[in-house]
Amino acid sequence: MKEVVLLAGTRPEAVKIAPVALALADHPVLRPVIVRSGRDAGVVEQSLRSFGLAATVELDVPGRTGGPAGLPARLVAQFDRVLHRRDPAVVLVQGGTTTALAGALAAFWRGIPVAHLDAGLRAGDLAGPFPEEGTRQLIARIATLHLAPTDDAAAALLAEGMVDRRIVVTGNTVVDAVQRVAAADLPARHPDLALLERVLDERSERLVLVTVHRRESWGRPLDRVLHAVRAIVDRHPDVRVLLPVHPDPRLRAAARDALGGHERIVVTGPLDYSDFVRALRRAALVLTDSGGVQEEAPTFGVPVLVLRDTAERVAAVDAGCAWLVGTDPIRIVAEAGWVLGSRLRLPLGHNPFGDGRAASRVRGALERLVGLPGDFSTASLPLRIPC
């Protein structure tokens, strides 16, 4: 057997590698091994569990200790020990996190090919999103295989001089993930979500789902967003808000201070992925600064207002599935009013990020990367997704 190490340090990494791990689960030669760094250990485990998965290796690198240089240094050293012990055929990293960079560096220095999932996302400005934009570019320089989610991402990689035959357009595995979990249609686990669903049904009210967690939003931008959320609920008496908050205590405190006590606003901790997908599916509107949520929402035709000034997921904006509104409360309230007032719903089945078969394309590309003979037709399928 040849091992494929899949790294997850944060929740979106866990969600996006999960379909790949499942696609490799029955492989006759490639064995998926999930390694999680200690960063967001709780939410990573929570996300993996929603797919019936768990990490095989758990690194002991807690939270955000050690500052911007200390964390990657500790991660690289620990990954290196894992790679030395396991000698995998490939290391697959996702996105632009510190975990992904550390894993890619450790593998690169050991001469192990790096496969980069979600490669080629570019905002075009090293200053924002910081440090993801730079981290993604650094990983691209040392990756052997670029698994680009869209044609635009592949074009960005080509423009930076990456070799064409090393780029495979796969679609985004998050679409596989969201489709799979939605199809399972598990009942709500979190009691607050179960109660909220009952109330929404009984009163024929609508749900606005809000997530806001990015570092660049912390402080004043976050306060402005939360202020806007309260104003939206006050202006729309048939609307309830669900805000699952990231575990960071500063975010929790800000949410509690701004929204606590409002009878039509429910603030919870992070939801299980299956619960989150349930909420997303029935939402009338999503307000988010999350990249992953922007990629998931079009599967259910839910309009998204993106609480950022720039976005590297331009496909959603270009396709008319999402609108960049920034963090100005006046703008957020006005745009939300437009979506809610017009009862806007987007066409179903047109997710510009993927068709739900990305993981099988990734599997084919990995087979080819490690030199396995066989049918690689799935890896070479051209992917053109209309929206």
Applying CB under 6 A, the span of 8-16, 85-93, 151-159, 197-205 interacting with ligand UDP comes to: 8-16
Complete edge-to-edge strand list for the sheet that includes strand 2-8? 57-58, 30-36, 2-8, 90-94, 114-117, 145-148, 167-169
Q: Is position 190 an interface residue for ligand UDP (rule: CB under 6 A)? A: no
Name residue, tokens 């739900």. 356
Applying CB under 6 A, the span of 162-170, 221-229, 265-273, 378-386 interacting with ligand UDP comes to: 265-273
Q: Is position 11 an interface residue for ligand UDP (rule: CB under 6 A)? A: yes
Q: Is position 244 an interface residue for ligand UDP (rule: CB under 6 A)? A: yes
Residue 170 or 290: the one with the smaller Cβ distance to ligand UDP is 290
Residue 75: φ, ψ to 5°: -65, -45
Q: Is position 273 an interface residue for ligand UDP (rule: CB under 6 A)? A: yes
Quick one: residue 223, left, alpha or beta (phi over 0 = left, psi -120 to 50 = alpha)?
alpha
- Our measurement of the distance from residue 231's CA atom to the centroid of its chain's CA atoms, rounded to an integer in Å, reads 28
Residue 272 or 367: the one with the smaller Cβ distance to ligand UDP is 272
Q: Is position 276 an interface residue for ligand UDP (rule: CB under 6 A)? A: yes
Q: Give one DSSP letter per residue of 333-367, joined into a string.
A: HHHHHHHHHHT--PPTT--TT--S-HHHHHHHHHH
Cβ pair 175, 358 in contact under 8 A: yes
In whole angstroms, how close is the CB of 338 to ligand UDP at the nearest point? 24
State which of positions 165-184 bind ligand UDP (CB under 6 A).
174
Q: Is position 313 an interface residue for ligand UDP (rule: CB under 6 A)? A: no
Q: Is position 36 an interface residue for ligand UDP (rule: CB under 6 A)? A: no
Q: Is position 270 an interface residue for ligand UDP (rule: CB under 6 A)? A: yes
Of 11, 17, 5, 6, the closest CA to residue 358 belongs to: 17
Of 296, 303, 298, 286, the closest CA to residue 342 belongs to: 303
Contact positions vs ligand UDP (CB under 6 A): 11-12, 15, 47, 174, 211, 213, 244, 270-271, 273, 276, 290-293, 296
